[in-house]
Amino acid sequence: MIRVDRKELTRSEIVRVAANCFLNDGYTKTTVHSMCKKLNMSPGNMTFHFPTKEHMLAELVEMLCKYQWKLMEDEAQDGYSSIMAICLELLTIASACEQDEVAKDFFLSAYRSELCIDLIRSNDKERAKEVFKEYCSDWTDEYFSEAEALVSGIEYATLFTTSVSAPLEVRVAGALRTILSVYNVPKEVRDEKIKKVLSMNYQKLGLDTLKKFRAYVDQTTEQALFDLLKRKQATG
């Protein structure tokens, strides 16, 4: 007989509330106290499940990683190559960050977090092995790890902007040119993908992607709670 641990239910509820706060109010603005109030929970109880707010952010980043794989699969069905999907992902995230301060806060906080950057690099390394295997057939796992450490730094630099930063198109084109070069993608292929991705309505795509990710997180957390409660009812 399957038994549902009360701790499992509590943890799922915390993730649901944290995700809602981080993606709607902003990660930086959200406090442990404000989440405890929404959950009617003591800080001690919350930190038992998640020692810090950063640990909750890491849960959301894990969802983002799964969502990125889903997007790549969906875009493949729509006729986009995997390389094109990677290019489109960076452009839409950068565009979302320019248009939505909450999105910018979420992504930059993730890249600055040691917990989260490890998750991002691990996930993106596995995707890179799949996407760029044609051009990196003799690479070892260590080579891919080294490349991803460099690539994640380029991505962060693309998202982090100041008053003197280059325009979005210039930043993204430069970032993609460098990233694709790291993975030995030929110049003609690089130029073709970058030209094609920059011709898209990336402002709309950025906001649409953010909206869809929020919906995906809502659906994922709600479904997880529903499944746990269903199991609890089934086991009495």
User: For 8-24, how does the pLDDT look when each residue is reduced to its tens digit (9 = 90+)?
Assistant: 888 888 988 999 999 99
Is residue 108 in a domain? yes
Is residue 1 in a domain? no
Nearest to 116 by CA among 218, 217, 27: 27
Nearest to 205 by CA among 179, 229, 172: 172
Whether the predicted pLDDT of 64 surpasses 80: yes
Helical packing angle, 82-99 and 53-77, nearest 10°: 130
Task: Report the CATH number that the domain containing residue 173 is assigned in CATH.
Answer: 1.10.357.10
Is residue 227 in a domain? yes
Nearest to 97 by CA among 199, 181, 5, 202: 202
Residue 134, helix vs strand vs coil: coil
**Domain ranges, residue 82:** 6-234
pTM: 0.87
CA distance 55 to 181: 34
**What's the CA dihedral at 44, 45, 46, 50 to 10 degrees?**
90
Is residue 178 within a helix (H) or strand (E), and if so which, with residue range?
A: helix 168-182
Is residue 62 in a domain? yes
Whether the predicted pLDDT of 224 surpasses 90: no
Is residue 229 in a domain? yes
User: For 158-211, how does the pLDDT look when each residue is reduced to its tens digit (9 = 90+)?
Assistant: 999 999 999 999 999 999 999 999 999 999 999 999 999 999 888 888 888 878
Average pLDDT in the chain: 89
Is residue 109 in a domain? yes
The number of folded domains in the chain is 1
pLDDT band at 1 (very low <50, low <70, confident <90, very high): very low
Q: Are 214 and 96 in contact (CB under 8 A)?
A: no
Is residue 25 in a domain? yes
- Residue 76 has a pLDDT of 61
Q: Which residues have CB under 8 Å from 55's CB, separation 6+? A: 115
Is residue 39 in a domain? yes
